[in-house]
Chain A
Amino acid sequence: MPLASYQTSVPVVVDDAKCIADKGCTVCVDVCPLDVLRISDMTNKAYMAYDECWYCMPCEADCPTGAVTVNIPYLLR
């Protein structure tokens, strides 16, 4: 069976201007319990690659530059 991709609006948002992943920072990627954040090959900034969020906050709380914002996933907002 062929696969289709499924659109979702992801809860974790990263401010590219503040994110220092391009300088080697991986804090948010490291701490996420669900392992859903990645560094983009194109922008070298962090982003939410998988919409599998427990809206728990370590990514936002531990980000050294305040670049990460956790929103409540739309389905339960």
Chain B
Amino acid sequence: MALDQIVDGLSEVSCDVLVIGGGTAGPMAALKAKLKNPKANVVLLEKANVKRSGAISMGMDGLNNAVIPGYATPEQYTKEITIANDGIVDQKAVYKYAQNCYKIVEELDSFGIRFLKNENGDYAVKKVHHIGSYVLPMPNGETVKKALYRQLRRARILISNRYMATRLLKSSDGRIAGAISVNTRTAEMLVIKAKAVILCMGAAGRLGLPTSGYMFGTYENAANSGDGYAMAYHAGAALANLECYQINPLIKDYNGPACAYVAGPFGAFTANNEGSRFIECDYWSGQMMLEFYNELLSGKGPVFLQLKHLHPNTIEEIETTLHKVERPTRGLFQQGRGVDYRKESIEMHISEIGFCSGHSASGVFVDDNARTTVPGLYAAGDMASVPHNYMLGAFTNGAVAGIDAMEFADSHDFADFDAADVAKERDRVMAPTKREDGIPPNQVEYKTRRLVNDYLQPPKVTRKYELGMRRLAETRQDMQEHMIARNAHELLRALEVQSIMDCADMAVHASLYREESRWGLYHWRTDFPEKDNENWFCHTLLSKQDGKMTSEKRAVEPYVVPIADDEKDLYDKQRIRATA
């Protein structure tokens, strides 16, 4: 039978721990869960194919946040991340990451992933952050996925590719019971009963529309449509600080990283059209992004990554990295434009908005054991709320989630769920395939994301947000009543649009709730332009309560690592000032 033809089917399987998402955090979570209890069944469910899925599909150039003994301490890292996030950080999880990540680096090394060492055999850590040194290049970074895959096969993890999870199942007492998924090539549905579930479903990277107008030319892997955020929301889990958007500096039009973390340690820098530096530090923070945004609009834009002043050998080294890993088509793009790094600077821009704790501070709320607010439900990686995760955070917190989830599964039996929940979800999933006539998913998606750009992009204006909310509600109605899917592939896209719409609604709700400005450009509200520590030095938690989207405040946990008053605003001073 031909691929994509719709098959109306439903089957059920069960496992001890279900990991959803096979990118970065997911494989590590599955591996650690299985190693914790080799007799248990661990299923790794993936919308694409674990071999090449997620943000590191083509590898990664290095670790951006490695806390390596001799270069940095967990205390120093925790302090830096706290300051970079305007203080709104539960330090326990960050501190735990900082303590654990070196072990994970050594473990990755044992998988065959190499890290740059100096002539003494020590890790060659580079400085990019404002205060400390945490960047560690990976000379064979293109092999990451292959190395992970070998480990998964060796541990006999059950991998199910091309299944998109759509909703979580819970028992009447609120415990996790499993997940519902749909095959992306046949539309057959699969219910997976599980004692514990770990969500590792990546960023919400298809929220805004890239300026090129190409819907899949996103900064994040375009498969990351925010399904994890939507699923957690509908399961009643809390989501933290979603108003702290992710916005990245990037190669204009190409929409991928430029990448200052690679080139910066060699002497490259971000410059305006006069060739002058305007930011103190290339490490991504909301404050840095605000200066970037201001420069773009100031008449001193465009903004460039400048490396033509470097030695040709240095440029070649940077070029090789940029054109080999993470986004290897960067080379093809620059070639097409006739840009030679030796002669010309790289034109940069800022990305569309998204959610991603990899670089900012939002996500499904988790504690230092990667537990969400739903018993038995875990989250790790770009979609979980531990700030500035990057790849090493996904691995480290994925490991934490895997171990804790297996402990949970070992001490609990399967929870019962209501069969009516499955029937209801089946109706929702299949609805677009039952219509004869209507609007295809690509048009609903384009319109939703265009509205996100028009109304939700910072600076956030209350009146614009109110209008955006109305336009999105109208589009949601079209989506629910008129969207059609004529084959299984279109159904995949139709389901993704529903995640995107949920994320857009959450972005509006969370942004309107926090009545202050914080995190630089990420949450710049023109109606509340000042930071208000008296009323808003807190997390915001968004959740579904009695079917309604609700936001509440949550106190920041007492710090593990104290921050002195004169250190608190170090990241606020990003703009280079003229000195007399």
Contacts and interface: CB of A to CB of B under 8 A. Distances in A.
A15 interface: no
Interface stretch (B47-55, B280-288, B361-369, B381-389): B47-55
A42 interface: no
Contact of A54 (B4, B221, B333, B437): B221
Given A35-B48, A76-B253, A54 B336 contact: no
Contacts of A71: 332
Contacts of A30: 49, 51, 161
Nearest to B484: A3
Contacts, number: 98
Q: Which among A33, A56, A58 has the highest number of chain B CB atoms within 10 Å?
A: A33
A52 B492 CA distance: 12
B254 A76 contact: yes
Prevailing SS type, chain A contact patch? loop
Nearest to A72: B333
Nearest to A51: B216
A35 B221 CA distance: 13
B2 interface: yes
Interface string B314-338: 0000000000000111001100110
A70 interface: yes
Contacts of B327: 56
A23 B493 CA distance: 30
A77 to B, nearest CB: 5
A33 B57 contact: yes
Given A52-B216, A58-B58, A33 B329 contact: no
Interface string B34-69: 000000000000001101111001100000000000
B342 interface: no
5 contacts: A30-B161, A33-B52, A70-B329, A73-B212, A73-B216
Interface of B: 2-4, 48-49, 51-54, 57-58, 161-162, 184-185, 210, 212-218, 221-223, 253-255, 327-329, 332-333, 336-337, 437-440, 489, 492-493
Given A33-B221, A54-B222, 4 more contacts: A38-B4, A73-B216, A75-B213, A77-B253
Closest 4 CB pairs of A and B: A76-B212, A58-B52, A75-B214, A31-B52
